[in-house]
Amino acid sequence: MEKENNSDYIKPINLVKVEYDQTGQSKKTNEMGMREMQAKAYEARTAKYLLLKAPPASGKSRALMFIALDKLINQGIKKVIVAVPERSIGNSFSPTELKKYGFYANWEPNQKYNLCTPGSDVGKVKAFHQFLQSDEKVLICTHATLRFAFEGLDEKQLNDCLVTIDEFHHVSADGDNKLGNVMRNIMANSKAHIVAMTGSYFRGDSVPVLLPEDEEKFVKVTYNYYDQLNGYEYLKSLGIGYHFYQGRYYKVQPERNMSALEEILDEDLKTIIHIPSVNSAESSKEKYEEVNHVIDCIGDLEYQDSETGVLFVKSKRSGRILKIADLVNDNQKERDKIVAYLRGVSSPDDIDMIIALGMAKEGFDWPFCQHALTIGYRGSLTEIIQIIGRATRDSSNKKHAQFTNLIAQPDAVDDDVKLAVNNMLKAITASLLMEQVLAPNFKFKPMDNDEDDLEDEEEENGKPTIKIRGFKTPTSQRAKDIIESDLNDLKARILQDDTMLKALPGNLEPEVINTVLIPKIIREVYPDLSEDDVEAVRQYVVVDSVIKNSTVEEQGSKKFIKMAGSFVNIDDINIELIDRVNPFQKAFEILSKNVTTSVFRAIQDTINIIKIEMTEPEAIILWPKIKAWVKETGEKPNIQSTNPIEQRLAQALLFIQDAKRKRTQNG
């Protein structure tokens, strides 16, 4: 661990560190007052079903206003229903002046039909049905209100309505997902238009958001995280990292003079602290006690403002008075006070820290936040991306945004060591995915062998293009759409796969990961793809991942790309070479260098216990490596070896011998 100069604080281990060019492009507005993403979404405004995938802070709420107003005024839509996951997010759709910035209408919903207010669901359902019979144009409600109201609704009552689902990843293709059922029934039984919006399309489970046949009906608009952050004015860099502790995060660490939370918490940074889920091992099981533990680590509570709910805490480190918001408290009156205060925050001095559990994730806007500090593992990639998004707003008070996951180290003598290791692997996959999400996008093309012009890189639609020998291009529009819009979603599915989790630490050969595991997952996710398109999508996933984990350097007139520790002339890149590189190895290597030897041994021992089924395609790939092993060492690979690669070679040899024996018996 590295300490900051002249400070007791410790820097987190950053598995991902990305720097941006501060072009200001994503914040510029056109003659209609639209930012880059909003203009892109507006171009698709006539789509009956529109799926908008854009990162936090890109302006999805206002994009919806532009699209909804056009549908009301120019497309024959009579009413607009906006559904958000929780009441606090409804504020994002409050009345908004748009005409003064160049648009032809203002967003003016009647507050009578803003149902994101305190009150019983029964009254809100009644108001929902009244709205459908009224002359009013816009209703704002929670997902829950939409679900309850739908139970007594004939879908045809939604004809000529626009239904908007904010944070669309709450929908699931699972038959038990009520919001998903509402969506499917609306699509099947009404003429309603739908706009679905999300900052992350990944779910915490392996269930897709939409079935393939439903997803194909949506026009997709994708605005990536890199374009958003690279186009900022102030924010220059983003770090995603970890800090480890033993015991309890709020107790003094062995041989140290402070708790792990105190070590990593810099009170000079505007910080959101997400306490552990009450069901997690890191939790004390009482969420209110958890808040007290956090405050005790920071200092002493002086008093709480009765009007705003703000806690005034005297720092035991500096003696400063820190303003802290508690969003864990379930008392509705107290919660409404502090939420109202936070909505009015206009300068960095208004609040110093926010303590949260379920809130302050989706749709929560505190642009001054510099540090998102999360205690305990988060199994959902969506949740991690949403939390990171709280710190990635552009603001004049910050050049760097930081996400830190404060996590317990696996203990070799702990009964729950397997669970801890699995959680750590999930944390790694989240970092791997974010590294892919945050990196610039490339275009890849096949390079013809007889092509005279071997220019390695050209600009296509503003994206660098790299030519690769043996690279396949997709043949169907479906495969092209997956590559264009769903690549990160597919990577999330790949990284969440149980077999891939077991393979990540390097106990499978890269060729097996790239040519056996990844295409198997692609077939499961997209069963409608032909084998040629599966291979094209597979190559794009692998190449994109490897290139984003590599660095390009110029030497004279030539460019070289560093992959897996070796420099390769960019003109000589071919798909066979890339398939020999593990695209997801880097983060695990970084992590393994920053934990103690005993912790790393506990990780490795647990992984070695996990058996990965041997398949014939993998055995075929490993056969040349087995022969090379025997030639180099003079011995067959040993199944008892502590080297995971040698173990795997030995398993493949047994598989091949068994297959040969069966063929002989059947011959």
Strands 566-569, 371-375: pairing is unpaired
Structure tokens at 560: 């070289």
| pLDDT on residue 451 | 46
Give 417 or 271, the one with higher predicted confidence: 271
* Integer Cα distance of 223 and 60 in angstroms: 10
State what percent of residues in the chain have pLDDT above 90: 34
pLDDT of residue 362: 52
The confidence score (pLDDT) of residue 186 equals: 92
Determine phi and psi for 47, rounding to 5 degrees.
-65, 135
Half-sphere exposure for 639 (CA within 13 Å, toward CB)? 7
Q: How far apart are the first and last CA of the chain?
A: 62
- Is residue 6 over pLDDT 60? no
For the packed helices 518-525 and 487-496, what is the interaxial angle rounded to 10 degrees?
Answer: 110
Q: What is the 3-state secondary structure (H, E, C) of 27-51?
A: HCECCCCCEHHHHHHHCCCCCCEEE
Query: Please, are residues 181 and 175 in contact by the beta-carbon 8 Å criterion?
Result: yes
Q: What single DSSP character describes residue 76? A: -
Task: Give the integer Cα–Cα distance in Å for 64 and 90.
Answer: 13
State the DSSP string of 427-480. Answer: HHHHHHHHHHHHSPP-EEEE--TT-S----EEEETTEEEEEEBT-----SHHHH
Residue 407 banded pLDDT, cuts 50, 70, 90: confident
- In this prediction, residue 449 carries a pLDDT of 46
For 535, the token pair is: 């291979």
Q: 């559904």: which residue's tokens?
A: 83
The C-alpha atoms of residue 270 and residue 268 are separated, in whole angstroms, by 7
CA pseudo-torsion sign 186, 187, 193, 195: positive
State the pLDDT confidence band at 611, using cuts at 50, 70 and 90.
Answer: low
To the nearest whole percent, how much of the chain has pLDDT over 70?
86
Hey, which residues does 51 pair with through a beta bridge?
Answer: 196, 220
pLDDT of residue 236: 93
Let me know how long the chain is: 667
Which class does domain 2-20+232-408 fall in?
A: alpha beta
The strand pairing partners of 325, in sequence order, are 354
Report residue 613 as tokens: 């089924």
Which burial class, exposed, middle or buried, applies to 498 when counting CB atoms under 10 A from its CB (0-12, 13-18, 19+)?
exposed
Least confident of 265-274, 410-419, 482-491, 506-515: 410-419
CA–CA distances in Å: residue 471 to residues 222, 457, 474, 484, 509: 25, 15, 10, 16, 21
When mean pLDDT is compared across 285-294, 353-362, 366-375, 509-518, the lowest value belongs to: 353-362
Average pLDDT, the chain: 83
- In the numeric block, which tokens belong to residue 37? 């993403």
466-469: long-range contacts at Cβ-Cβ below 8 A with a sequence spacing of 24 or more? 466/442, 466/547, 466/570, 466/573, 467/573, 468/444, 468/543, 468/573, 468/574, 468/575, 468/578, 469/572, 469/573, 469/574, 469/575
CA–CA gap between residue 658 and residue 428 (Å, rounded): 36
Does position 378 have pLDDT exceeding 50, yes or no? yes
Q: Where in the chain is the domain with CATH 3.40.50.300?
A: 2-20+232-408, 25-224
- What pLDDT was estimated at residue 450? 46
Contact 514/527 with Cβ under 8 angstroms?
A: no
Phi-psi region of 102 (alpha: psi -120 to 50; beta: other; left: phi over 0): left
Residue, of 323 and 482, whose pLDDT is higher: 323
> Phi/psi zone of residue 57: left (φ > 0), alpha (ψ -120 to 50 degrees), beta?
left
Tell me the average pLDDT across 464-491: 87
pLDDT of residue 454: 39
* Candidate from 349-358, 558-567, 585-594 with smallest mean pLDDT: 585-594
Of 570, 575, 381, which is closest to residue 490 (Cα–Cα)?
381
CB atoms inside a 10 Å sphere around CB 450: 4
The CA distance from 625 to 646, in Å, is 10
Which amino acid would we find at residue 233? E
Q: Other C-beta atoms within 10 Å of 483: how many?
A: 20
Where residue 146 falls among pLDDT bands split at 50, 70, 90?
A: very high
Q: How far is Cα of residue 520 from the mean position of the Cα atoms in its chain?
A: 23
Query: 182: helix, coil or strand?
Result: helix
The predicted-structure confidence for 70-119, as pLDDT tens digits, reads as follows: 999 999 999 999 999 888 788 889 999 999 999 999 999 998 899 987 76
Computed on alpha carbons and rounded to an integer, the radius of gyration of the chain in Å comes to 27
- Tens digit of each residue's pLDDT (9 = 90 or more) over 390-400: 898 999 999 99
Give the pLDDT of residue 455: 44
What is the dihedral angle through the alpha carbons of 506, 441, 384, 295, rounded to the nearest 10 degrees? 110
CATH H superfamily, domain 25-224: P-loop containing nucleotide triphosphate hydrolases (3.40.50.300)
Give the model's pLDDT for residue 462: 54
Question: pLDDT for 623-635, tens place per residue?
Answer: 988 898 888 888 8
User: Do residues 121 and 145 touch, judged by C-beta distance below 8 A?
Assistant: yes
Is pLDDT at 31 greater than 90 in this prediction?
Answer: yes
427-439 per-position pLDDT tens digit: 777 777 888 888 8
Tell me, rounded to whole angstroms, the distance of Cα 514 from its chain centroid.
Answer: 22
Q: Strand 49-53 relative to strand 219-222: parallel, antiparallel, unpaired?
A: parallel
Statement: residue 64 has pLDDT above 90: yes
**Does the structure show a pLDDT above 90 at 66?**
yes
Structure tokens at 606: 């647990």
Q: Is 590 exposed, middle or buried (0-12, 13-18, 19+ CB in 10 A)?
A: middle
Q: Residue 237 pairs with which residues in a beta bridge?
A: 19, 400
Stretch 569-585: mean pLDDT: 84
